Structure 1
Amino acid sequence: MGEWVQAAATAAQAGPGDNTVIIDVSQVLVITDRFVVTSGANARSVRALAERIEEGVDCCGGPKPAAIEGLSDCEWVLMDYGDFVVHIFTASARDYYAFDLLWKDCPAEAVTLSPSPAAS
């Protein structure tokens, strides 16, 4: 499961995701263990992120999401993988709902991409 969470987060941060974090909610929720949270610049990038994340999890042998909500307006898309949930916001929706502030007491890990060896 950790590999699938990391695959989702890496796919988001690879583009066009911004400010991608993994939040460990296992101590406060029983329905899931982790949130992957990311933002897109607009509805089009949110939809692209949902597709990229689903492909990223699938490529490492992970499951399809049990449910996807929010694709009709792409302001806040939720992808439910059971053990983890992906939240994809437009930047304005993420600010409005103060999602990061809501979960500030839970351990969080920012996702950064390592430079490729060829770039060195």
Structure 2
Amino acid sequence: MGHPQPDQKLPPFDELVQLAKSDPKAFNQFKHEMCEQMICSASEPMQDRLRAQQSHIDLVVSRCKNPHHTNVVLMKELSCQVCKFQDALQGRCSFEETQPENVVPFRPNTEPKMY
């Protein structure tokens, strides 16, 4: 069963550009509210994952130097996610956690020790 999408109406692009230039805090608040509204429209089990993804995006964007840099970095992030999704759909990846080669798994000793 699908979840209804929120009826989000964005102001005209030029107004958003002006808001971003004149009041970056208000623009970021608006952006945050729009993202949160979209996340809340998702299923309960998906909301935590979407918030984690949004937090990652916010962190990546915070490290960017300008809007062009942001676009390039976000495009790279999106491309990586699309490749992972494609690999998953084509069965080329495993969802099991892999352990580094230098980690030896713990195996409990089943024999009692005699002292």
TM-score tier, shorter chain, comes to under 0.3
Larger helix share, 1 or 2: 2
Larger radius of gyration: 2
Q: Which structure is richer in relative contact order (CA contacts within 8 A, separation 6 or more)?
A: 1
